Amino acid sequence: MAEKNKEKKSIVVTVDMGGSQNKVIAQIYPDGYPQTVILDSEIADVSAASLRSISNEGKPESRVWVGIGDEYYVLGTLARHQFKGITQLKELKYELAVPKICGLIWLVKEKLNLGSNFSVYLNVLLPPGEVQDKDQLQLRLKETFKGFDTPAGKIKIKLVNFNAVSEGSGIYFHFKHSRSGIVPTSLFVMMGYRNASTFLVRDGVPGRGVTSDLGMSWLVNSFVSKVSGLNSDDFGVVEAMVASGKDCDPVVLERLSRKRKPAEIKADGEFMCSALVIARDEYWRAIARWLRSCAESDVRELVFCGGTADYIQPEIDAYCEKEGFKVSWHGNINVPTKITMGLGSRMADVYALHQYCVCELDKLIDYKERKDNEFVKQIKHQSSSVTSNSNQKGFLMMADNI
């Protein structure tokens, strides 16, 4: 009887397939609480025979794999440590979306204690240049959801609803609601690990976005090319770069040295500091040129989001002050600590989109019994400015132009 009840569940899942980490918010719908699922972005294709070496012990995040037809994929830390999987940043997110989404939904299933047959309202953030592939992605997901293999056996999913929108859409929806629907001519700038994207909002209408390769990975590659012994696929390099701050603290960068003598380690730190200062300057100059090319003459405000934007916030603030732009950070979204999982503002976009979609679903089914928790309070507060005549198609397609 318990398994039968599990099979009747529906869930809302919102996915941000980041270049460094896949970020997901999910909840049983309509009366569940939102939970965060994080999975490292590495992926590797393997044979069915290779799956026999994977342990069934440990946290689900450490043993994620999926079988789609006769193709098998391992994801996250399992891919990185056991199969030399990489982030594959040069591949389109769309190309890797199906196995990643399947793996993430299996993680959600484990976290929410679901059965092997359930329904999902799925929301996915994609770079602006890849949103046009959403219809094909939906078809592939529908076919795959008829049955795919996981560590818990074969699972089947009914795709009730599929919503693929541009990165930054969650920020935009929140920003619009917080301004009572009035959005000045603004440029929304999303800066992640893999790429950076923008879209222009004029007269309250978002335009089609553009994507560049100027994500954090561009800076990492530039830095690594200026020193020896470092690997751009080593996420420890990124962590040290971020921890070293605006001044590129050489003491922090010493952790990247492979030397043994204190004097040589210190020398490495100082050399890396000099290299990172140059790489960071070159990166910012490239970003500034890109922003000037994207910001049309009537733009009054720049809205930034993403972890990479936080990293170069001092440069951004100085640029906006010099150019006379008002600047907004992450649409002023307050993400609860229990949702951030230590990722801070990197969760803002996916959190805001999930929040918006749950709110719209509630209105569609006239659901008024949601428990009054912190998450729901924010939904209710922000949804008060949303027009009451929206329909399902409208809420799903609002971001089509972005």
- Residue 237, domain CATH: 3.30.420.40
DSSP structure string for 320-343: HHHHT-EEEEGGG----HHHHTT-
How, if at all, do strands 148-150 and 196-202 pair?
A: unpaired
Specify if 48 maps to a domain: no
Stretch 249-258: mean pLDDT? 96
Specify if 79 maps to a domain: no
Q: What is the largest CA-CA distance in the chain?
A: 69
Q: Tell whether omega for the bond before 30 is within 30 degrees of 0, i.e. cis.
A: yes
Stretch 389-399: mean pLDDT? 39
CB-based contacts of 379, cutoff 8 Å, min separation 6: 355, 358, 359, 362, 370
Same domain, 260 and 142: no
Instruction: Map residue 377 onto helix, strand or coil.
Output: helix
Q: How far apart are CA 247 and CA 9, in angstroms?
A: 51
Residue 285 has pLDDT above 60, yes or no: yes
Stretch 132-157: mean pLDDT? 94
- Angle at the Cα of 273 (from 268 to 279), degrees rounded to 5? 125
- Residue 144, domain CATH: 3.30.420
Same domain, 289 and 322: yes
Specify if 264 maps to a domain: yes
pLDDT band at 90 (very low <50, low <70, confident <90, very high): confident
Specify if 46 maps to a domain: no
Element (H, E) at 118: strand 117-126
- Angle at the Cα of 148 (from 147 to 154), degrees rounded to 5? 80
Same domain, 267 and 312: yes
DSSP structure string for 140-203: HHHHHTT-EEETTEEEEEEEEEEEEEETTHHHHHHHHHHTTT---SEEEEEE-SS-EEEEEEET
pLDDT of residue 184: 84
Q: How far apart are CA 189 and CA 168, in angstroms?
A: 8
pLDDT of residue 392: 38
Structure confidence by residue, pLDDT tens digits, 91-105: 777 788 999 999 999
pLDDT of residue 180: 77
Specify if 253 maps to a domain: yes
Strands (E) in 269-397, as ranges, are: 301-305, 326-329
332, 350, 376 — which closes off a domain?
A: 332
Same domain, 350 and 328: no
Specify if 175 maps to a domain: no
Of 259-268, 273-282, 360-369, give the lowest mean pLDDT range: 360-369
CA of residue 346 relative to chain centroid, distance: 7
Higher pLDDT, 286 or 395: 286
What range defines the domain where residue 358 resides? 2-40+88-166+336-397
**Closest alpha carbon to 371 in 27, 36, 7:** 27
Same domain, 92 and 33: yes
Specify if 323 maps to a domain: yes
- And the tokens for 391? 């329909």
Same domain, 185 and 308: yes
Element (H, E) at 291: helix 262-294
- And the tokens for 108? 């959600």
Rg (CA), the chain: 22
Higher pLDDT, 230 or 374: 230
Average pLDDT over the chain reads: 87
In eight-state DSSP terms, residue 315 is H
Tell me if 144 sits within 8 A of 102, measured CB to CB: yes
pLDDT band at 238 (very low <50, low <70, confident <90, very high): very high
Q: How far apart are CA 47 and CA 71, in angstroms?
A: 7
Q: How many domains does the chain have?
A: 2
In eight-state DSSP terms, residue 46 is E
Same domain, 328 and 348: no
pLDDT of residue 396: 43
Q: How far apart are CA 159 and CA 147, in angstroms?
A: 12
Instruction: Map residue 313 onto helix, strand or coil.
Output: helix
Instruction: Map residue 98 onto helix, strand or coil.
Output: helix
Specify if 66 maps to a domain: no
Q: Is the dihedral of CA 49, 55, 56, 59 positive or negative?
A: negative
Same domain, 364 and 244: no
> Residue 126 CB: number of other CB atoms within 10 A?
25
Tell me if 43 sits within 8 A of 19, measured CB to CB: no
Of 54-58, 169-173, 351-355, give the lowest mean pLDDT range: 54-58
Same domain, 155 and 290: no
Same domain, 134 and 15: yes
C-alpha dihedral (11, 126, 93, 282), degrees to nearest 10: -140
Of 14-28, 97-111, 194-208, give the lowest mean pLDDT range: 194-208
Q: Which residue has the tokens 């970003």?
A: 287
Same domain, 350 and 271: no
pLDDT of residue 274: 98
- And the tokens for 76? 């996250």
C-alpha dihedral (140, 398, 130, 42), degrees to nearest 10: -70
Same domain, 315 and 340: no
Q: Is the dihedral of CA 284, 289, 294, 295 positive or negative?
A: positive
pLDDT band at 371 (very low <50, low <70, confident <90, very high): low
pLDDT band at 377 (very low <50, low <70, confident <90, very high): low
